[in-house]
């Protein structure tokens, strides 16, 4: 009996052990499989994440590169367009300037030749050159516009003051050109010597017709320059597109060029500020100068203006001019006239003329002030007092400091 029981117990134990082992093995296998699956899943997830990140980075980099390239292309195109515009404007301005200079030189040469021929003929015939000055009134200001009038006034010792800008350098005031503004005394002296005549006003010489012709010529010039500027812009754009190569897109390069040219035709505007204006600085002969022909028949009187002290100023001016001195305005020096011993282009002023009536009283403070002013600018102050007999009494003042 005991033996059978032991055998039964052994079988039971063996079966229990086998079952326990089997369960343990199954649990171990399940745990191992679960761990393996988790590891595999983690690895797969990491690989997927890395791949996704890599793809995202590549896409971002590609988009950034495309955007950078597009911005660079736009900047390059803008720079090219600006350079093309500047180059076109510069070329147009240079061409217009060259053409204007050439025309001016030709006209000037013709005018010089005609003047030389006229002077030679006058010398051969024993005639003296005309010294009659043509004055063009502008409100209350007597102006000299023509070169021959400036030359005639200079020969008579009339200096005046240039107040016009030079055609080639208009943005400066160091050197000025025509017209020449005359002092009232200079105008009156020429009138009393029968050496001046008033030129007819432009309305009398031609009315509104010259202005209409000028505006029509300006419109034609603007249209022609607009067409030339557009053609130059197109040529520069084609050159730039050919140099940079065809752009990326669905259309062909020829189609892209046509589209760009059409867009340029629609958007191009030629600014009026870039319009090159021809300025006539020389004329040839009387046949091209209607106002010169009208001057030959001019007999209108020059205006006579009166104000306090004008008569005394004119007597002083006439007397000093009769003594051979040259006079200009002395407003910057606190006087009436600057007195030169010769042509102002060759000499400095020696005196500051101050016109004072014989019966006019001066305070000692005014006398000291004007004397010190003359000493500071290294000039002698002349107190000029016209007398009753036509003579002028001169008193010189020089500041010598305290004694």
| Residues taking part in catalysis | 340, 348, 379
Segment 126-132 long-range contacts (CB within 8 Å, at least 24 positions apart): 131/155, 131/156, 131/195, 132/195, 132/196, 132/197
* Residue 145 CA, distance from chain mean position: 25
Alpha-carbon distance of 49 to 76, in angstroms, equals 39
Cα atoms in the Cβ-side hemisphere of radius 13 Å centred on 221: 15
Contact criterion met (CB below 8 Å) for 351 and 357? no
Contact criterion met (CB below 8 Å) for 344 and 326? yes
Report the relative pairing of strands 351-355 and 337-340 from DSSP bridges. Answer: antiparallel
- The verdict on whether omega for the bond into residue 179 sits within 30 degrees of 0, i.e. cis, is yes
């Amino acid at each position: 009996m005991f033996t059978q029981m032991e055998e039964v117990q052994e079988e039971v134990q063996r079966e229990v052990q086998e079952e326990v082992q089997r369960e343990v093995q199954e649990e171990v296998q399940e745990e191992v499989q679960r761990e393996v699956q988790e590891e595999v899943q983690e690895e797969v997830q990491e690989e997927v994440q890395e791949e996704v990140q890599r793809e995202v980075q590549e896409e971002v980099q590609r988009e950034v590169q495309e955007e950078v390239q597009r911005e660079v292309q736009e900047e390059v195109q803008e720079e090219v367009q600006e350079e093309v515009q500047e180059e076109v404007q510069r070329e147009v301005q240079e061409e217009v300037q060259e053409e204007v200079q050439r025309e001016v030189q030709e006209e000037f040469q013709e005018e010089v030749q005609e003047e030389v021929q006229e002077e030679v003929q006058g010398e051969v015939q024993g005639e003296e050159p005309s010294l009659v000055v043509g004055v063009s009134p502008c409100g209350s200001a007597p102006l000299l516009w023509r070169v021959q009038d400036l030359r005639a006034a200079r020969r008579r010792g009339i200096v005046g003051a240039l107040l016009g800008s030079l055609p080639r350098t208009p943005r400066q005031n160091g050197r000025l050109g025509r017209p020449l503004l005359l002092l009232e005394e200079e105008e009156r002296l020429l009138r009393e010597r029968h050496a001046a005549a008033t030129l007819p006003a432009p309305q009398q010489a031609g009315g509104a017709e010259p202005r209409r012709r000028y505006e029509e010529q300006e419109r034609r010039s603007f249209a022609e320059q607009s067409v030339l500027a557009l053609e130059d812009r197109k040529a520069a754009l084609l050159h730039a597109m050919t140099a940079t190569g065809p752009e990326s897109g669905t259309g062909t390069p020829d189609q892209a060029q046509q589209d760009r040219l059409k867009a340029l035709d629609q958007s191009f505007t030629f600014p009026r500020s870039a319009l090159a204006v021809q300025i006539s600085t020389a004329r040839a002969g009387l046949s091209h100068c209607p106002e010169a022909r009208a001057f030959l028949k001019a007999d209108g009187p020059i205006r006579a203006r009166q104000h306090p002290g004008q008569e005394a100023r004119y007597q002083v001016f006439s007397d000093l001019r009769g003594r051979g001195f040259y006079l200009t305005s002395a407003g910057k020096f606190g006087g009436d006239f600057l007195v030169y011993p010769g042509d102002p282009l060759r000499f400095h002023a020696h005196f500051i003329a101050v016109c004072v009536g014989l019966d006019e009283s001066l305070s000692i403070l005014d006398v000291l002030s004007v004397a010190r002013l003359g000493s500071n600018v290294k000039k002698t102050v002349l107190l000029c007092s016209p007398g009753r007999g036509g003579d002028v009494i001169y008193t010189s003042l020089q500041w010598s400091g305290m004694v």
